[in-house]
A and B are shown apart, each in its own frame.
Chain A
Amino acid sequence: MAFKKLINSKKILSLFAVFLLSGTNLLMAQSTDVAASGNSKAGHSSDWFSVGYYLLLFFFAILCVATLGKILKVYDLSVKMQGKKGINWNNIMALLCAVFLVVGLYGAYWSLTVQGSMTLPVSASEHGVAIDNMFTVTSILTLIVFVLTQILLFGFAFIYRASDKRKAYFLPHNNTIEKVWTVIPAVVLTILVVFGFFTWQKVMDISSKKGDINIDVTGHQFAWELRYPGTDGKLGKVDYKLVTGLNKLGVDYSDRNSFDDLQADTLVLPVNKTIRLNIHAQDVIHSVYLPQFRVQMNAVPGLPTFFKFVPTITTADMRIKTDNPKFEYTLYCNKICGGSHYNMQKVVRVVSEEEYQEWIAKQKPYLSDQLKADLKIAEIKPSVSGQISSNKLALNN
């Protein structure tokens, strides 16, 4: 039998060698092909070389593992021939479970402390503090469960490894203990639910936060447009059908409130004032994400959304807090929106009230002179939008 096996493994080895050889041939052939196909691609043969090198390394590793396996097998057999027991893989695996438990828990601790300290700084908004508290409570509870259950899992695996001398304990069920561990998670989760529900309601409650500054944030591939209200504090209406090259947001100038609206490049917010971000999207879904303020809301075409929050820490203060003189709050897109999704950001600056007034006074009105010129034509020709809708009717029918 053993002899037969040897033949078998030889067969496999030779097959493997043939496979390797033909494989190398194929690679070589391809690389010469590539080299021949054009001078610009001549460098590519070296890629194959480096890949070949890594492949060779990998095969070497496989060879090492196989050799090690064979050595272990031979050792195992020779020990058995002497009449002793061979390698007890079961105990080795049990031991590995125990080692994994210790090393794994240390690794988790290391990750929590080192990488955990690289996470977001303190919340820069009022409601964010409540969210952070909720987070802390949940973290503590789940970490306790995490550590306990992993210890039990791998601890039991180690302690109760198989032994010929013992039989397992026949325990099909125990209603009391099952009730206990149904009720305890239920109670803990109820606490978390109630706590979370009220936090959520508080965050989303719009009536309690008064005197807001309305700012329009509009997402499109791949940028954000900002629109601030003018002295009247009111934003004019928008209509996507009015979008033109000049009127990028489609501001409706039949609404008088829109005349003094301002455009801006940076989202500047006065500290300790209620901000209401009116969130729009023009083409696909985007998401307004301001992680330092614990703010996120999707921008959905056809469904205007909003988020109300109160920034509490100015950029300058945050720079001191984080010990990072270059710190900037950022707003970025957090819903897949196309190829440049990874670079759709706006700088956010939180400043004092005076700085804000100073800044806003300098912003250009949305209604540029060019647009004004354009607008006059638009006012006499309302048929433009009419035409679009009639087109649409035709399409829909």
Chain B
Amino acid sequence: MSTLAVHDHGVLQHGEGHEHHHKATFLNTYVFSQDHKMIAKQFLITGITMAFIAMTLSILFRIQLAYPDKSFPLLETLLGRFAPGGRLSPDFYMSLVTIHGTIMVFFVLTAGLSGTFANLLIPLQIGARDMASPLVNMLSYWFFLTASIIMLSAFFVEKGPASGGWTIYPPLSAMPKAMPGSGMGMTLWLISMVCFIASSLMGGINYVSTVLNMRTKGMDLWKMPLTVWALFLTAILGVLAFPVLVAGVVLLIFDRSFGTSFYLSDIVLNGQVQPYEGGSPILFQHLFWFLGHPEVYIVIMPAMGISSEVMSVNSRKPIFGYHAMVYSLIGITVLSFIVWGHHMFVTGMNPFLGGVFMITTLIIAVPSAVKTFNWLATLWRGNIRFTPAMLFAIGMVSFFISGGLTGIFLGNAALDINLHDTYFVVAHFHLVMGSAAIFGMLAGVYHWFPKMFRRMMDERLGYLHFWITFIGAYLVFFPMHFMGLDGVPRRYYALTEFPAFNRWLTVNVFITWAAIMSGFAQVAFLINFVYSIFWGKKTVQNPWNANTLEWDAPIEHVHGNWIGEIPTVYRWPYDYSKPGHEEDFIPQTVPFSQTMSSNLPHDFEDNPAGLAEYNKWVVLNKANEEVK
């Protein structure tokens, strides 16, 4: 009740003061905006830019892998000393791999995905005027942008960007002499990550408090769409896990710059005995993966939420097992904190601990399986509309299955002995969290584009984009499983030094061309995205005939989302194709009293007055029919 009072107050203020107090200038509308819808767009566009950069990096190192002996003079022209003689230098190759991973995991799939959709959807779908703290929300974006710029600036320092892999295990990352990228590049990486985590925390705290405190009248937790549930739990995960990485990173900064030995011990570098003593490199791995593993769920859960919503809307069917979907998300959230050790089976961690982590890891497969089956059941007997968003959601499920199943191999400590750090792992996580999450994100972009930009994207270009990307991603990652099963390690600059790996060279060429093909398919997306922002077809109020609250808000963006009172919510968001109702959707704002013919006893589970009304209506209706 108290929150409602606050809302009303807010309405009043906005209603009166909008025109007089703060004039909308270019600067406060598009740059330093505190409006969650604009911040969402800022996150999205920054995220897409970072995604294109990271994708280009991956194409560069894929070219090296496919043609290790060939020289491309153009590369020297473009990259200078990083590609002497037209071939990438091994150190720069490592930098590319490192920065590709970092950007994709953190800047695209954490900030780009959560940042965009939590900002856009949480206030709109729960019926709030804005985030709990718009200022902190704005800061969250600006910290993110700062982090992005610092991360990319590492390409302009003398020795190149960080190159110890995105996991930056010390001592490699701790000693500037261990490799060129561990100098200034690593310092920038660490500063960038601290900014990034600050951004992520500010965002996360905002999302959690908004969901908990600012829901509109009638919107109890069990009436929230799965997108909001997923984004809410993701934010909780981020708030609890990211600080641990800050701790790890700060200790690493101490080791690098202030002569401490948190992670270092017994080191002889280039024949020189180093003065470090008493630290443990394993400690960093524990700290890193305590974030790192929840991080992969931070990446995939919003994609799950978006796919659930998109699949339900476009199958014209309620999401199957809404409660089970929520409970499995909660299960994943909780379990994800106790599985980090499966990244460390062969690092010298106590084998008994390995056994324990194996058990918890395989338990987390159960909620994941439940989610998958529920998605399949949602499609079953649906009336499926193939919008590009729907195709991307289906693609997300397909990737999640393919990549998730190989997780059962890797989560098994005994099998991990031989699969650890091979291409099998690369294939696994690129499918299950890379491709699946990016497909979830693209599904979201196609689905909520009209909400963000008030125009529609071109469907046919979307189809083209989907099919090339979908097929391309499978062509890239499927063969990698078998490379891994042959013991081909990841992060190898070239396979030429091993005669046994020569036979994989043709496969590498194939993968590279598949990657280039999917890379070019993104141009279809870019053209579609940019064109539609300015010249796309204007959207109607509710283009997908969806139930959720955001489609009730006016098309023209207003500060405060709704003109006048925020609508009240009466029902869950998945009343699609309810028998007895003419249309195949009933928005959340429609009270049961207006849909007597389609109500079910189940709708009144904790509403005795409503149930009494319903029973009365049933009796009356029966009597009426008998009269007829």
- Which residue of B has the minimal Cβ distance to A171? B320
A146 and B273 contact, CB distance less than 8 A: no
The contact of B268 among A69, A197, A243, by CB within 8 Å, is A243
By CB atoms of chain A within 10 A, which of B169, B322, B524, B531 has the most? B169
Closest residue of B by beta carbon distance from A131: B414
Determine whether the beta carbon of B493 is less than 8 Å from that of A170: no
Task: Please pick, from B322, B375, B584, the residue contacting A172 in the complex, using a CB distance under 8 A.
Answer: B322
Please judge, given known A-B contacts A201-B351, A285-B171, A289-B487, whether A296 and B420 are in contact too, CB under 8 Å. Answer: yes
Is there a chain A Cβ closer than 8 Å to B264's Cβ? Answer: yes
Complex formed: what's the CA distance from A245 to B499 in Å? 32
* A-contact bits for B272-295, CB 8 A (1 contact / 0 none): 010111011110000000000000
Q: In which size bucket is the chain B interface?
A: 35 or more
The yes or no answer to A364 lying at the interface (CB within 8 A) is no
The answer to the question of A51 belonging to the interface, with a C-beta cut-off of 8 Å to chain B, is yes
Establish whether residues A200 and B492, one from each chain, have CB atoms under 8 Å apart when the complex forms.
Answer: no
Q: Which residues 340-391 in A have Cβ within 8 Å of B in the complex?
A: 340-343, 345, 388, 391
Residue numbers in A under 8 Å from B544 (CB-CB) = none
A43, A145, A149, A296: the one within 8 Å of B346 (CB): A296
B383 contacts the other chain (Cβ, under 8 Å)?
yes
Residue B550 at the chain A interface, CB threshold 8 Å: no
Q: A142-B405, A160-B384, A240-B273 are in contact. Are A96 and B467 (CB under 8 A)?
A: yes
Cross-chain contact B73 with A47 (CB below 8 angstroms): yes
Of B273, B394, B494, the contact of A97 (CB 8 Å cutoff): B394
A46 to B77, CA, bound (A): 12
Q: Spot the interface stretch: B43-51, B215-223, B432-440, B478-486.
A: B478-486
The answer to whether B417 touches A203, judged by C-beta atoms less than 8 angstroms apart, is yes
Residues on the B chain within 8 Å of A8, using CB: 535
Q: Are B366 and A189 in contact (CB under 8 A)?
A: yes
Residues 174 to 203 of chain B near chain A (Cβ within 8 Å)? 175, 178-180
Least distance between A377 CB and chain B CB atoms (Å): 17
B370: chain A residues at CB < 8 Å are 178, 181-182, 185
Chain A residues, Cβ within 8 Å of B281:
285, 300-303
CB contacts (< 8 Å) of A146 on chain B: these are: 401-402, 405
Per-residue CB contact flags for chain A residues 166-204 toward chain B (1 = under 8 Å, else 0) read: 111111111001100110011001001100110111011
Pairwise interchain contact A334-B267, C-beta atoms closer than 8 A? no
B374-416 CB mask vs A (1 if < 8 Å, else 0) is 1111011111111000010010011001100110110011110
Q: Which B residues lie within 8 Å of A150 (CB)?
A: 398, 401-402
Q: Are B266 and A240 in contact (CB under 8 A)?
A: yes
**Complex CA distance for A185 and B322, rounded to whole angstroms:** 19
Q: Is the CB of B369 within 8 A of A90?
A: no
Q: Across the two chains, which residue of chain B brings its CB closest to A8?
A: B535
A19 at the interface (CB under 8 A from B): no
CB pair A186–B366 under 8 Å, yes or no, is yes
* Chain A residues numbered 289-306 whose CB sits less than 8 Å from any CB in chain B: 289, 291-292, 294-298, 300-303, 305
- Bitwise interface map of B from 335 to 365 toward A, beta carbon under 8 Å scored 1, else 0: 0000000000011100100110011001101
A89 and B94 contact, CB distance less than 8 A = no
Within 8 Å of chain B (Cβ to Cβ): is A14? no
Of A77-85, A115-123, A266-274, the stretch lying at the interface with chain B is A115-123
A 80-110 binary contact with B (CB < 8 Å = 1; else 0): 0000000001100110110010001001100
Neighbour of A153 across the interface among B74, B379, B467, B576, CB < 8 A: B379
Query: Once the chains are docked, how many angstroms separate the CA of A291 from the CA of B485?
Result: 9
Interface centre among A47, A327, A388 (most CB of B within 10 A): A47
Q: Shortest beta-carbon distance, A83 to chain B, in Å?
A: 23
Task: Tell me which of A50, A141, A243, A337 contacts B172 (CB under 8 A).
Answer: A337
- Determine whether B568 belongs to the interface, using a CB cutoff of 8 Å to chain A: no
The docked-state distance in angstroms from the alpha carbon of A295 to that of B319 is 45
Chain A 36-63 interface residues, beta-carbon cutoff 8 Å to B: 41, 43-44, 46-48, 50-51, 58, 61-62
Contact B482 A119 (CB under 8 A): yes
With both chains docked as a complex, state the minimum distance between the C-beta of B550 and any C-beta of chain A, in angstroms.
22
- Write out, one digit per residue, whether chain A residues 310-348 have a CB within 8 A of any chain B CB (1) or not (0): 000000000000000011101011111111111101000
Cβ-defined contact, A119 with B485, below 8 A: yes
Judge if A161 is at the interface, Cβ distance under 8 Å.
yes
Q: In whole angstroms, how far apart are the Cα atoms of A51 and B63 in the complex?
A: 14
CB 8 Å contact bits of A252-295 with B (1 = contact, 0 = none): 00000000000000000000000000000011110101011011
Flag whether B552 is at the interface (Cβ < 8 A). no
Chain A positions within 8 Å of B365 at CB level: 185, 189
Task: List the B side residues contacting A108 at CB < 8 Å.
Answer: 478
Closest chain-B Cβ to A342's Cβ sits at a distance in Å of 4
Inter-subunit contact B491/A296 (CB<8 Å) = no
Q: Does B243 contact A (CB under 8 A)?
A: no
Residues of B within 8 A of A61 (CB): 520
B574 → chain A closest CB, angstroms: 7
- Judge whether B346 and A153 touch: CB under 8 Å: no
The answer on a CB contact under 8 Å between B267 and A302 is yes
B358 contact set on A, CB distance < 8 A: 193, 196-197, 200
Contact of B178 among A192, A221, A248, A289 (CB under 8 A): A221
Of A93, A201, A250, A305, the residue contacting B391 (CB under 8 A) is A93
Please determine whether A302 and B280 come into contact, CB atoms closer than 8 angstroms. yes
Counting chain B CB atoms within 10 Å of each CB, which of A65, A135, A220, A283 scores highest? Answer: A283
Shortest CB distance B614–A (Å): 17
Is there a chain A Cβ closer than 8 Å to B134's Cβ? Answer: no
How distant is B505 from chain A, measured CB to nearest CB, in Å? 12
Q: How far is the CB of B284 from chain A (nearest CB, A)?
A: 10
Q: Is there contact, CB below 8 Å, between A204 and B415?
A: no
Out of A41, A89, A392, name the residue touching B275 (CB < 8 Å).
A392
For residue B437, give the distance in angstroms from its CB to the closest CB of chain A: 18
Measured in the bound complex, the distance between the Cα atoms of B527 and A126 in whole Å is 57
Are B267 and A283 in contact, with the CB atoms below 8 A?
yes
- Bound together, the chains give a CA A139 to CA B405 distance in angstroms of 9
Q: Is B238 interfacial (CB 8 A cutoff)?
A: no
Residues of A contacting B277 in the complex (Cβ-Cβ under 8 angstroms): 392, 396
- In Å, the complex CA distance between A365 and B165 comes to 38
Pick the residue among B354, B379, B507, B576 that contacts A160 (CB under 8 A).
B379
Given A178-B370, A197-B413, A336-B172, 14 more pairs with CB closer than 8 A? A118-B504, A138-B415, A145-B401, A156-B380, A160-B384, A172-B318, A298-B346, A302-B264, A302-B265, A302-B281, A336-B165, A338-B179, A388-B275, A392-B275
Which residues on A are within 8 Å of B, measured CB to CB? 8, 12, 34, 41, 43-44, 46-48, 50-51, 58, 61-62, 65, 69, 72, 89-90, 93-94, 96-97, 100, 104, 107-108, 111, 115-116, 118-120, 128, 130-131, 134-135, 138-139, 141-142, 145-146, 149-150, 152-154, 156-157, 160-163, 166-174, 177-178, 181-182, 185-186, 189, 192-193, 196-197, 199-201, 203-204, 220-221, 240-241, 243, 245, 248, 250, 282-285, 287, 289, 291-292, 294-298, 300-303, 305, 326-328, 330, 332-343, 345, 388, 391-392, 395-396
CB pairs A–B below 8 angstroms (19 shown): A58-B520, A115-B507, A118-B504, A149-B401, A153-B379, A172-B318, A172-B320, A173-B324, A182-B370, A185-B369, A189-B363, A221-B178, A283-B270, A300-B281, A303-B281, A340-B90, A341-B491, A342-B494, A342-B497
